[in-house]
Amino acid sequence: MSQRVAIVETPRLILGTWLKTDRDLFREINADPKVMEFFPFRRSHEEADAFLGKLNGMMSEDGLGFYALVLKDTQEPVGFCGLSHPNLPGIFPDDIVEIGWRLATRFWGNGYVTEAAKALLEQAFSRRDVDIVVSFAVETNHRSTSVMQRLGMSRRRELDFSHPRVPDTHPHLKRHVVYTVSKDEWQARRPA
C-alpha cells in the first residue's frame, strides 16, 4: 500500500489500489449515516481498516475488486467503485460479476460514480471477457438505482431477492432489486 497502482483512468478519475493515506476517507465512508443508509451496520475504524486491507488483497488475487476512486487533478480519494464476485450462493452463480460503488457525501452530484462505472463496464466487456454484469441495491435506494439506469442497465424483477446477510431486524433493508447489462447490450449502446 505504498504507491497507488492505477487500474483504470477516465478524464477526471483514477481507479486503483488503496494507499494507507486513504484510510481516513475509507473510515469516513463506512461510518457516514447517509452513505450507509441502506446497510444494516456502520463500521468502526478498526473494522474499516481491516476491510480496506481485504479490498487490496482481493485485487491482487484476480484483479477484481473495489478500487479507490481518486480525483486526477488533486489526487484526493473520494470513494470507491469496482467489479467483484458478489458471493451470494443460490442467488447468483459463482462466476457472475457485480459492479458496485460508494462515495463520500461531499462528492455526491458530480457524476464521478457514473464516469468510473462506465469505464469499468467497458473494461469488463472488452478486456475481461465478461458476458453480463449485475448490480443490486435495497429497493428504496434510488440514488444507486438511478446510477444503474444511467449506465444502461435494465431492471430484472425476476432476479430481485431478499438479502441473506441482512438481519431480520432490518426488514426494510432486506429486499434488493437487480439490474443487469450484457456485453451485447453494452456494445450496442456504446458510441461508435
Distance between CA atoms of 69 and 76, rounded to whole angstroms?
Answer: 9
Number of domains in the chain: 1
Q: Are strands 97-103 and 175-182 parallel, antiparallel or unpaired?
A: unpaired
What pLDDT, on a 0 to 100 scale, did the predictor assign at position 1? 52
In a domain, 42, yes or no: yes
In a domain, 1, yes or no: no
Distance between CA atoms of 58 and 183, rounded to whole angstroms?
Answer: 24
- Residues 136, 142, 145, 151, Cα dihedral to 10°: -150
Lookup: cell for 52: 480496506
Decide if pLDDT at 192 tops 60: no
Q: What is the domain extent for residue 162?
A: 6-189
Q: Which CATH number characterizes residue 80's domain?
A: 3.40.630.30
pLDDT in tens, 89-100: 999 998 899 999
What pLDDT, on a 0 to 100 scale, did the predictor assign at position 58? 72
Helices and strands (H and E) in the chain: how many: 5, 9
Lookup: cell for 113: 460514480
What pLDDT, on a 0 to 100 scale, did the predictor assign at position 111? 96
- In the predicted model, what is the mean pLDDT of the chain? 90
In a domain, 103, yes or no: yes
Highest average pLDDT, of 28-32, 36-40, 164-168, 180-184, comes from 180-184
Lookup: cell for 145: 438505482
In a domain, 110, yes or no: yes
What pLDDT, on a 0 to 100 scale, did the predictor assign at position 90? 92
In a domain, 67, yes or no: yes
In a domain, 164, yes or no: yes
